[in-house]
């Protein structure tokens, strides 16, 4: 399970890097085509960058759950390792609720966009909308892993390795 | 709107009540915002959870927000590509001989960095690694070193270019070019206030100074920094002259930083490039994901016309522009303690805009007051990203550097007050360079 998730995680990271790197291309074309006659002023550049952008956000949000990158607010000062583990389980239960909603309604959302195409490049819209159900399923996998880990840490009364705010880096 | 099942008061109670309850059990802000919207979407017969995805999609499907990953990438490229090192050497030659030399360099480097990157979190992360340990080694107190790194990082969103100004321009339709120009003077004033604070600390605590750099070193270090220091002119100039849009300018910043690193300073390896890109993706997307759910939250507030209900009382107080200015600053400062700046602009900025307009506060002054207040929110707990990052770099809890941070905020708040009392301060530069933008 962990091995599979590690591989999946690496794949997502790679796709994320690709999405960030590719973002710069259509925007650059857009700028240069304005000043030179060498490149025609493609109309789809703006749309394409927006689509890559949406996928970038959603993939980052998926990885964020496993790497604990999503920012939270810490109102509690120093808690025992057990209380920390328990609190992580409670918080993740709520995230699980959101995951359920994202899977169920995300599929509805994708169905809704099944026959739509984009305004400029005529791309099928489900290619974008499907990012939500994919995110939902990915979160579900990562959350199951997190629950197993936190229950174990609670039993043993140990803290999660690493300093919590450091994830912001 | 007559068929709404919930009254605005009820809806506000559910939205904010759920949101804060979830934050209290450490649910990440992005998920807490989405979950808080959920009960209402289910209860209200005319809405459905589909709104959640539709509004998120609409938020991300915006060309403006592309600036967020681009500015982060610029900052990351500057750090790995040697631009930051060159600027550091120049800053040291300029102010190293002032009392508290290294801390002064910290502030001045933030000013330069702010002129190239528009992201404060990137500034805090890179300068945290660069300065905190070095300062402690030279005999500065750790809490002072953390605090000055964090507070100087906020300059990045005040001095152009700025992610917050681009988002503000997209959400509240204010000229981004005008905001960029308007941010320069307040940003420099805040930087000066910080240098004065460092001076006072250094005198009291006998912090070390560097020997004064010779003229030759100043000229040499300035010379190697010139290509990097022209970035703000290219970005702001390009926007004002209409060569590219604000978002495109962020892409230009990336290309320019990459070109400098690869061809001029020749320091960028493929491995570093990949790391810079992945780090950018991580930080940008979690911040942006939060903007999506915040948009849903904000959309519901607007659906129930909650802002209007809140402001109905305030308009009866009969405040003038200065009173309203202070109210705006106070609202953003309070909200900035709990929320990230971009969702705060979406939710609070749109709420306050009619109030600002009703007393004749100039939209650009309104924007600058809001953005400076939100920038200060980056170092106020419990949710102060820059302070969190600086403390994380030093591996101490946030409370550790709190006292020094609060002391350093006082002179910065005085600058904010001055801007509210004399709203002409931020307007000076745009009025001089391109008055047509202020129409």
State the smallest CA–CA distance between residue B64 and chain A in angstroms. Answer: 9
Task: Write phi, then psi, for A124 (nearest 5 degrees).
Answer: -65, 130
pLDDT digits (tens, 9 = 90+) for B143-153: 999 999 999 99
- Listed in sequence order, the DSSP H helices in chain A are 2-35, 45-67, 81-112, 126-129, 131-156
pLDDT one-digit tens code per residue, A45-58 = 778 888 899 999 99
Average pLDDT, chain B: 90
Could you tell me which chain B residue has the CA closest to the CA of A72? B28
DSSP for B12-33 reads HHHHHHHHHHHHHTT--HHHHH
* Sole residue written with tokens 């899977």: A103
The DSSP code for B131 is I
Contact A20 B281 (CB under 8 A): yes
Three-state SS annotation for A18-43: HHHHHHHHHHHHHHHHHHCCCCCCCC
pLDDT band for position A77 (50/70/90)?
A: low
pLDDT digits (tens, 9 = 90+) for A104-125: 999 998 988 888 887 777 788 8
**What per-residue string of b and e applies to B100-109 under the rule 16 or more CB within 10 Å gives b?**
bbbbbbbbbb
The secondary structure of residue B383, as a DSSP letter, is S
Query: In this structure, are residues B168 and B370 in contact, taking their beta carbons and an 8 Å threshold?
Result: yes
Q: Of residues B239 and A163, which shows the higher confidence score?
A: B239
Are the Cβ atoms of B63 and A46 closer than 8 angstroms? yes
Which residues on chain A are in Cβ contact (under 8 Å) with B48?
105
SS3 (DSSP) at B194? helix
**Cross-strand partners of A124:** A117
CA distance B9 to B16: 11
Q: Distance (Å) from the C-alpha of residue B21 to the closest C-alpha of chain A? A: 11
pLDDT of B194 reads 97
- The confidence score (pLDDT) of residue A168 equals 36
State whether residue A117 is helix, strand or coil. Answer: strand
Task: Tell the burial category of B64 from Cβ atoms under 10 Å away from its Cβ (0-12, 13-18, 19+).
Answer: middle
Q: Of B251, B383, B391, which is closest to A24 when you measure between CB atoms?
A: B251
> Omega into B306 within 30° of 0, i.e. cis?
no
Please state, in angstroms and as integers, the Cα–Cα distance from residue B72 to each residue in A20, B66, B68, B113, B289, following that order.
11, 11, 6, 12, 15
Over range A36-53, report the average pLDDT: 78
Q: What is the pLDDT of residue B142?
A: 95
CB contacts < 8 Å between A and B, how many? 189
Q: What is the pTM of this model?
A: 0.87
B383 → closest Cβ in A30, A49, A73:
A73
Cα separation, A19 vs A51, in Å, equals: 10
* Average pLDDT score over residue span B118-142: 90
The pLDDT of residue A166 is 36
The question of ipTM being above 0.85 is answered as: yes
């Amino acid at each position: 399970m962990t091995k599979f998730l590690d591989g999946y995680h690496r794949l997502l990271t790679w796709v994320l890097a690709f999405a960030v790197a590719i973002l710069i291309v259509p925007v650059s074309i857009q700028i240069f085509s304005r000043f030179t006659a060498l490149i025609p002023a493609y109309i789809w550049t703006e749309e394409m960058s927006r689509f890559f952008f949406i996928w970038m956000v959603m993939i980052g949000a998926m990885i964020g759950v496993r790497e604990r990158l999503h920012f939270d607010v810490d109102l509690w000062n120093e808690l025992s390792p057990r209380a920390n583990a328990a609190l992580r389980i409670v918080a993740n239960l709520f995230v699980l609720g959101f995951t359920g909603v994202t899977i169920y309604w995300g599929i509805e959302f994708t169905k809704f966009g099944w026959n739509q195409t984009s305004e400029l490049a005529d791309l099928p819209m489900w290619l974008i909308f499907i990012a939500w159900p994919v995110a939902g399923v990915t979160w579900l996998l990562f959350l199951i892993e997190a629950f197993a880990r936190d229950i174990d840490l609670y039993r043993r009364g140990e803290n999660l390795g690493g300093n919590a705010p450091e994830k912001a880096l | 709107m007559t068929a709404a099942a919930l009254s605005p008061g009820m809806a506000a109670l559910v939205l904010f009540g759920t949101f804060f309850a979830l934050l209290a059990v450490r649910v990440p802000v992005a998920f807490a915002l989405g979950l808080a919207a959920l009960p209402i979407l289910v209860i209200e017969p005319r809405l459905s959870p589909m709104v959640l995805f539709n509004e998120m999609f609409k938020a991300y499907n915006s060309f403006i927000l592309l600036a967020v990953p681009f500015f982060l990438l610029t900052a990351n490229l500057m750090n790995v590509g040697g631009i930051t090192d060159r600027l550091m050497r120049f800053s040291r030659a300029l102010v190293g001989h002032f009392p508290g030399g290294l801390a002064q360099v910290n502030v001045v480097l933030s000013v330069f960095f702010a002129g190239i990157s528009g992201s404060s979190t990137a500034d805090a992360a890179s300068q945290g690694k660069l300065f905190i340990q070095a300062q402690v080694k030279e005999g500065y107190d750790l809490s002072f070193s953390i605090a000055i790194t964090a507070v100087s990082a906020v300059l990045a969103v005040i001095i152009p270019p700025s992610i917050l100004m681009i988002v503000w321009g997209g959400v509240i339709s204010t000229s981004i070019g005008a905001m960029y120009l308007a941010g320069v003077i307040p940003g420099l004033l805040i930087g000066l206030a910080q240098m004065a604070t460092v001076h006072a600390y250094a005198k009291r605590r006998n912090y070390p100074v560097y020997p004064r750099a010779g003229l030759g070193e100043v000229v040499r270090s300035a010379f190697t920094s010139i290509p990097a220091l022209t970035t703000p002119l290219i970005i702001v100039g390009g926007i004002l002259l209409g060569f590219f849009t604000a978002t495109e300018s962020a892409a230009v910043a990336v290309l320019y930083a990459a070109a400098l690193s690869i061809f001029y300073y020749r320091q960028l390896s493929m491995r570093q490039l990949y790391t810079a890109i992945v780090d950018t993706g991580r930080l940008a997307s979690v911040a942006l994901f939060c903007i999506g759910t915040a948009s849903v939250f904000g959309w519901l507030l607007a659906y129930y016309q909650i802002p209007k209900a809140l402001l109905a009382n305030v308009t009866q107080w009969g405040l003038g522009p200065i009173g309203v200015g202070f109210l705006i600053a106070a609202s953003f400062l309070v909200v900035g303690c709990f929320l990230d700046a971009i969702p705060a602009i979406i939710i609070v900025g749109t709420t306050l805009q009619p109030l600002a307009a009703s007393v004749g506060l100039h939209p650009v002054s309104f924007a600058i007051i809001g953005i400076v207040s939100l920038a200060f929110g980056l170092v106020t707990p419990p949710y102060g990203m820059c302070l969190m990052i600086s403390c994380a770099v030093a591996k101490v809890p946030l409370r550790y550097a709190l006292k020094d941070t609060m002391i350093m905020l006082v002179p910065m708040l005085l600058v904010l007050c001055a801007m509210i009392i004399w709203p002409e301060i931020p307007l000076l530069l745009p009025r001089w360079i391109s008055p047509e933008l202020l129409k």
